């Protein structure tokens, strides 16, 4: 509770002062140039001073930090349940300038990869950061083009992403869930191959564990998985008597059977990126990261505001230094 209250006070303070303290940033190699550091408040300079790196793993030939920056907050998809105002609040806070600053802070704390979907306008924002400001953040992106027909639209979007410099591509979890529900496993295989044809690591995303089960059963040649994972020990978690309805309506959205996930992933030898580990903010980072890493996740994807990154990176590093895993590292 203490940690939650501290964050709440911090958020309130940050929002009240942000309008009068917008930073003018020039970013080179993922950090603020020396001549601009003296113009920034001490707190901002501290957040952008390079710290010791985080542990890394490999997905194919791609080196990736074990803590990844999630894109949902940057694209304002907050999954804030019935708190509708949070989406609008996040949209006002995470402007393009703030997104650039967030990635710079993440890089300074050893987070070298962003995972995001093709939300409107996001590619322009990412390219400006990389090409105009010298950012080094890697991109793992899921196309949102439809999986239908001969996959023309999907193929074209994948080609565009690869040409823009995307480092890895994966099948959007929404698509993966839907295709398995329809029995279209062959379409998952085709989507995986389309990305591989562009010479980048190709993954599969899922909310429903059945997606990974079917991929493994059918020996789909994916390079990695991105799958929801968290425990149910938080107040708004679905109760046992609600799970049947939740599973029927949105299979796996709430990581409906964490232990089943743990047990199955022990048999999977491909890298696993766990997301929704904090259940959209309902589980504190230390608890969430420890649960994910101890139970087999190779990487944790966490949505973070810029002011949360330093603390979360330190938590992740501390957890990984003492973790006792039930599954070997697969990346």
Q: Which helix (H) or strand (E) holds 196?
A: helix 185-196
Between the CA of residue 317 and those of 4, 30, 170, 187, 289, what are the distances in Å?
A: 20, 20, 26, 38, 10
Q: Judge whether 168 and 203 are in contact, CB under 8 Å.
A: yes
Task: Indicate the pLDDT class of residue 31, thresholds 50, 70 and 90.
Answer: very low
- Given pLDDT bands bounded at 50, 70 and 90, which one contains residue 73? confident
Give me the mean pLDDT over the 103-126 stretch.
94
* Exposure letters 180-196 (e unless 16+ CB within 10 A, then b): beeeebebbbbbbebbb
C-alpha to C-alpha distance for 239 and 70, rounded to whole angstroms: 27
209 Cβ contact partners less than 8 Å away, ≥ 6 residues apart: 227, 252, 257, 260, 261, 264
Token duo for residue 293: 């890493």
Arithmetic mean of pLDDT, 63-86: 81
What single string gives the DSSP state of each residue in 27-47? EETTEE-HHHHTTS-HHHHHH
Does the pLDDT at position 112 exceed 60? yes
Q: What integer is the mean pLDDT of 10-32?
A: 40
HEC assignment per residue over 155-189:
HHHHHHHHHCCCCEEEECHHHHHHHHHCCCHHHHH
The pLDDT of residue 291 is above 90 = yes
Q: Which residues, in sequence order, are bridge partners of residue 272?
A: 225
pLDDT of residue 94: 84
pLDDT tens figures, 298-320 = 999 999 999 999 999 999 999 99
List, for residues 154-197, the tens digit of each pLDDT value. Answer: 999 999 999 999 999 999 999 999 999 999 999 999 999 999 99
| Rounded Cα gap, residues 217 and 266, in angstroms | 15
Between 30 and 263, residue with greater pLDDT: 263
3 state DSSP class of 190: helix
Q: Residue 193's closest CA among 219, 212, 213, 217?
A: 219
Domain spans of the chain, in order of start: 2-321
2-321 architecture in CATH?
Alpha-Beta Barrel (3.20)
d(CA 181, CA 154): 19
Q: Which of 235, 282, 226, 229 is nearest to 252 (CA)?
A: 229
What CA–CA distances, in Å, run from 37 to 5, 42, 107, 314? Answer: 30, 9, 16, 23
Q: Which position has the higher pLDDT, 152 or 51?
A: 152
């Amino acid at each position: 509770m203490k940690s939650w209250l501290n964050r709440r006070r911090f958020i309130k303070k940050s929002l009240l002062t942000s309008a009068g303290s917008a930073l003018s940033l020039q970013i080179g190699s993922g950090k603020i140039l020396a001549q601009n550091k003296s113009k920034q408040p001490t707190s901002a300079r501290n957040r952008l001073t390079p710290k010791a790196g985080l542990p890394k793993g490999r997905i194919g030939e791609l080196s990736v930090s074990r803590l990844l920056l999630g894109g949902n907050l940057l694209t304002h998809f907050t999954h804030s349940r019935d708190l509708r105002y949070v989406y609008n609040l996040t949209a006002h806070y995470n402007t393009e300038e703030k997104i650039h600053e967030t990635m710079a802070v993440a890089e300074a704390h050893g987070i070298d990869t962003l995972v995001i979907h093709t939300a409107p306008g996001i590619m322009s924002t990412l390219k400006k950061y990389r090409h105009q400001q010298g950012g080094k953040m890697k991109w793992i992106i899921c196309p949102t083009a439809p999986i239908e027909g001969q996959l023309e639209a999907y193929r074209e979007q994948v080609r565009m992403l690869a040409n823009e410099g995307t480092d890895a591509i994966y099948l959007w979890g929404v698509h993966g869930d839907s295709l398995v529900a329809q029995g279209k496993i062959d379409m998952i295989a085709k989507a995986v191959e389309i990305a591989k044809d562009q010479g980048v690591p190709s993954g599969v995303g899922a909310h429903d564990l059945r997606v990974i089960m079917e991929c493994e059963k059918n020996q789909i040649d994916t390079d990695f998985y991105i799958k929801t994972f968290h425990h149910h020990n938080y107040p708004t978690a679905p109760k046992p008597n609600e799970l049947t309805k939740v599973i029927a309506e949105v299979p796996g959205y709430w990581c409906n059977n964490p232990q089943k996930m743990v047990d199955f992933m022990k048999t999977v030898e491909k890298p696993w990126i766990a997301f929704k580990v904090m259940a959209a903010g309902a589980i504190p980072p230390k608890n969430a990261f420890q649960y994910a890493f101890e139970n087999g996740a190779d990487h944790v994807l966490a949505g973070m505001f810029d002011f949360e990154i330093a603390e979360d990176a330190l938590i992740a590093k501390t957890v990984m230094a003492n973790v006792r895993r039930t599954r070997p590292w697969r990346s």
